[in-house]
């Protein structure tokens, strides 16, 4: 077995880990609290970058097989953060973390489960 399949599976796990960490940081705070907490905000933005970077390394066939995962949006968020960091819209960050990331978890877990079966 080559290392390439293992690497993309590891990337899926990185995405899951980053989502879990972001959710743990935002579980019991409000948007206003996050806005005031620069340390937490930077960790959350970093994790969004990790998610997008990991999504860049997912094979095209996995993207095709799992179209419910917004692979392009994940990469796009990373690109916006990295290349436009001075213009990050914190309301969008909040919306993504609170409402868009949680539904991805079952899909990403399914990808890992099916990858193990192969």
Q: Is 78 a catalytic residue?
A: yes
Kindly give, in sequence order, each residue whose CB lies less than 8 Å from that of residue 99, ignoring residues fewer than 6 positions away: none
Kindly give, in sequence order, each residue whose CB lies less than 8 Å from that of residue 102, ignoring residues fewer than 6 positions away: 19, 23
Spell out the alpha helix ranges (H) of the chain: 3-26, 31-36, 38-55, 60-65, 71-83, 90-95, 104-117
Tokens 């019991």 label which residue? Answer: 28
Find, among 77, 59, 66, 56, the residue nearest to 105 by Cα.
66
Q: Is 83 a catalytic residue?
A: yes
Catalytic residue among 6, 75, 78, 80: 78
Catalytic residue among 14, 56, 57, 83: 83
Point out the residues that are catalytic. 78, 83
């Amino acid at each position: 077995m080559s290392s390439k399949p293992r690497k993309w599976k590891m990337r899926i796990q990185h995405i899951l880990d980053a989502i879990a960490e972001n959710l743990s940081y935002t579980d019991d705070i409000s948007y206003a609290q996050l806005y005031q907490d620069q340390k937490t905000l930077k960790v959350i933005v970093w994790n969004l970058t990790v998610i997008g970077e990991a999504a860049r390394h997912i094979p095209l066939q996995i993207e095709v097989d799992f179209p419910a995962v917004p692979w392009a949006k994940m990469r796009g968020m990373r690109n916006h953060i990295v290349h436009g960091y001075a213009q990050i819209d914190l309301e969008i960050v909040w919306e993504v973390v609170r409402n868009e990331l949680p539904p991805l978890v079952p899909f990403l877990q399914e990808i890992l489960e099916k990858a193990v079966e192969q």
